[in-house]
Amino acid sequence: MFVGSDGQGQPKRGLVEFNIAAYVPSNATITGATLTLYLGQVAGSGGSGSGGDQTPRTIRLFDVTTAWAGSTNGTTGFPGPGFGGTGQGFPANIGDATWNDGKFNTIPWNTPGGGGDFVTTESADTLVGQNVNSTYSWGSTDQMVSDAQGWLDGTLPNYGWLLKNDSEAGQTTFRAFYTREGAIEQGLPQFAPDLVVSFAVPAPEPPAWGIAAIAAFAVVLLRRCQPRTHPVSGRLGTIRDWLRAPAPSAKMLRWRGSLCGSISGPGRRSAMARSACLKPSATTALFPPPDVRWECHIGAHGC
């Protein structure tokens, strides 16, 4: 995937697209998006992978607005290793993305002169140097997050991003990155484009019957913890207070028809009694946190 100009001053641009909906839940809120590409060649290196253009180049991402298709020619049979001999591209097949067409002989670009259809506001940019087989990343930025959220929600058509070199009008400025197909062909699948998306999904709401049961349980506990008159001594206190004091005799205590606990002798209290006055706040552990956060890596196809 070449981005920038070759030795004849011919500009090249890249396209990359990710199927976010296949990996991110439809109700997710995206909080981060970072694109990572592996650099495979620098202009002027003669395909050797070293030397070449020594000036770092700014490459920007733009949201694409017209459908396109990845090239079907040149995805196998690379002369490799490296990208040597591929800079001039390959003959287009019907449906391939080219400078003039989103899909060759099917869907032309709307932009006069070709070069892709994309929004004017960049999504991100980064400075790409000369370190071959190293990664370069774009984002996360607010605009990349907005793009990815729109693709997920369907408010934006998901045609991916276009990569454009600020120095494409000059000579010998391109940077060539591995595509998924190119990485596989070279035996380096780990060099394929990678989009890391961070997102949050709402925690599931407890069922209505569960909320009602918890509320009823909390009311019962609160009522049991209200000061009452001891049925034997006549003292005012709570069940918990009574159980802390030595009981005059073994007795089952019942209050408003509910078994609150048992007294088995002076100074002894049963496990049931100790749990009789749990505070309702203990039930909050039954609810999940407000949202659950995840991160996923998404592969791409590019051009």
Shared domain check, 260 and 141: no
Strand pairing class (11-12; 57-63):
unpaired
Shared domain check, 267 and 180: no
Looking at residue 135, what is its pLDDT? 97
Shared domain check, 227 and 190: no
Report d(CA 207, CA 212) in Å as an integer.
9
Shared domain check, 260 and 153: no
Output the tens digit of pLDDT for each of the chain's 303 residues: 899 998 889 999 999 999 999 999 999 999 999 999 999 999 988 765 567 899 999 999 999 999 998 766 555 555 455 566 565 666 777 888 888 888 888 889 999 888 999 999 999 999 999 999 999 999 999 999 999 999 999 999 999 999 999 999 999 999 999 988 888 888 889 999 999 999 998 877 666 666 666 666 555 444 544 555 545 445 544 434 433 444 443 333 332 332 333 233 333 333 332 222 222 222 223 333 344 556 566 666 544
Structure tokens, 206: 């407890």
Shared domain check, 250 and 132: no
Report d(CA 164, CA 142) in Å as an integer.
19
Looking at residue 270, what is its pLDDT? 31
Strand pairing class (29-42; 194-202):
antiparallel
Report d(CA 2, CA 39) in Å as an integer.
10
Domain of 188?
Answer: 2-203+292-302
Looking at residue 12, what is its pLDDT? 92
Looking at residue 240, what is its pLDDT? 43
Shared domain check, 268 and 181: no
Shared domain check, 157 and 47: yes
Shared domain check, 190 and 165: yes
Looking at residue 92, what is its pLDDT? 76
Structure tokens, 133: 């087989």
Query: What DSSP state is assigned to residue 204?
Result: P
Looking at residue 276, what is its pLDDT? 29
Shared domain check, 189 and 166: yes
Shared domain check, 30 and 6: yes
Looking at residue 282, what is its pLDDT? 28
Report d(CA 92, CA 145) in Å as an integer.
33
Sign of CA dihedral 145, 147, 151, 155: positive
Shared domain check, 143 and 96: yes
Specify the pTM. Answer: 0.69
Sign of CA dihedral 234, 236, 240, 246: negative
Task: Give how many domains the chain has, as a whole number.
Answer: 2
Shared domain check, 125 and 218: no
Among 220, 195, 198, which Cα is nearest to 279's? 220
